[in-house]
Amino acid sequence: MLKVGIDTISFYTSHYALDLALLAKARSVDPEKFSVGLGQQVMAVSAPDEDIVTIGANAALRAIRDIDVSSIEMLLFATESGIDQSKAAGIYVHDLLGLPKRCRVIELKQACYSGTLALQLALPFLRQHPDKKVLLVASDIARYGLGTPGESSQGCGAVAMVLAANPRILAFDPEYGVVTENVMDFWRPNYSDTAFVDGKYSSKLYLNMLEKSWKQYHELSGRDFSDHAYYCYHSPVPKLVEKAHQHLAKISGNSQLSAEKLYEHIEYSLEYGRKTGNSYTASLYVGLTALLDLAKTNLAGERLGFYSYGSGCVAEYFSGTVQAGYQQVLDTDYHAKMLAERTYLTYGEYEKFFLFQYPEDGSDCKIPRYHTGQFRLAAISDHKRIYEKII
């Protein structure tokens, strides 16, 4: 069967961040509630002139840097932070990147799962059209509200992947396990700027759906726990991923493995998430990017396990194999520089960013300029978002 999968991958997050020790102080809680209890260190904070379009476009600009864009015939934009009830956010990205007119563009939504849905929709197209490529952008800004239980797991980020036949980074296996159940663990009605979440219930569902999707995947593929060298999980908070991997080991008959050994399977994949917080649809693929960038051994030929979970809920388990020479295509130095050069906000600056509001009455608004990547949201005028290139 023709190999299809990830040809390039790039990750982007805001230039601004908040040390969760400052948030703990402001909320009068022990800092270890976040650093140990959640496994979270830093929250990425989007500036007022950043949104899912700008952070997604910045990730995509890196992903296409050595790609013949004339071969990109589809742009799939996955998000749960939608900016319009009709127009796909990907249309703006298509324009900012100067992609070909002959290109399908659509926005996909199902909580944190839709990036994986976009991936699975693209793979059959690539098998049928091996000379074409698909640009997948997963981009989100996680918001729960000041002083809410979910505040410490907020964050933002985007991952862009060019998907292709005979990929240079990772080829996906055809087998997968997928389960859908109608539940209310996390949702955001149209009238609310922030999500509603039942955290304990959602964590329980996360583990339950892992078990169901893994069993399907195992039965269809014949692969066992030991057939995967490393694992990537959707990561609302890193501590949940640690618990999930221990649970997977238990249900797959590997409870004899030490906690240290199990942690080795996931430690690299959690590093970028610890420094950025939840990025919803992008989160699983932020983990993959971190694993590829940071693993100290050559991953070529190794099979990776992937667990994707979207509240509401849909869960999927699938796998893929890292390709020889993958290191030559990575954007590791850019990612390291981006994270190292962020500006850390005071608590007051964080609150100011959070409370900034776009007009909701149709009035025009010029948005203050902050330190962004190569694209920014400059204004809202006549009910339209106006984007600006900084190149």
Task: Give every CB contact of residue 147 below 8 A, 6+ residues apart in sequence.
Answer: 27
* SS3 state at 44: strand
* Mutual angle of helices 89-97 and 52-63, in 10-degree steps: 40
Dihedral of alpha carbons 207, 280, 230, 300, sign: positive
Of 50, 94, 107, 112, the catalytic one is 112
* SS3 state at 280: helix
Helices (H), 8-86: 20-26, 32-35, 52-63
Task: Give every CB contact of residue 217 below 8 A, 6+ residues apart in sequence.
Answer: 175, 176, 177, 223, 317, 318, 319
Known catalytic membership, residue 80: yes
Known catalytic membership, residue 234: yes
Known catalytic membership, residue 383: no
For residues 160 and 55, give the distance between their C-alpha atoms in angstroms, rounded to a whole number: 10
Spell out where the chain has E strands: 4-12, 16-19, 42-45, 72-78, 104-108, 133-142, 155-165, 170-180, 186-187, 196-197, 230-233, 303-310, 314-322, 343-344, 365-366, 375-381, 384-389
Of 94, 218, 228, 234, the catalytic one is 234
* 181 token code pair: 């159940």
Active-site residue list: 80, 112, 234
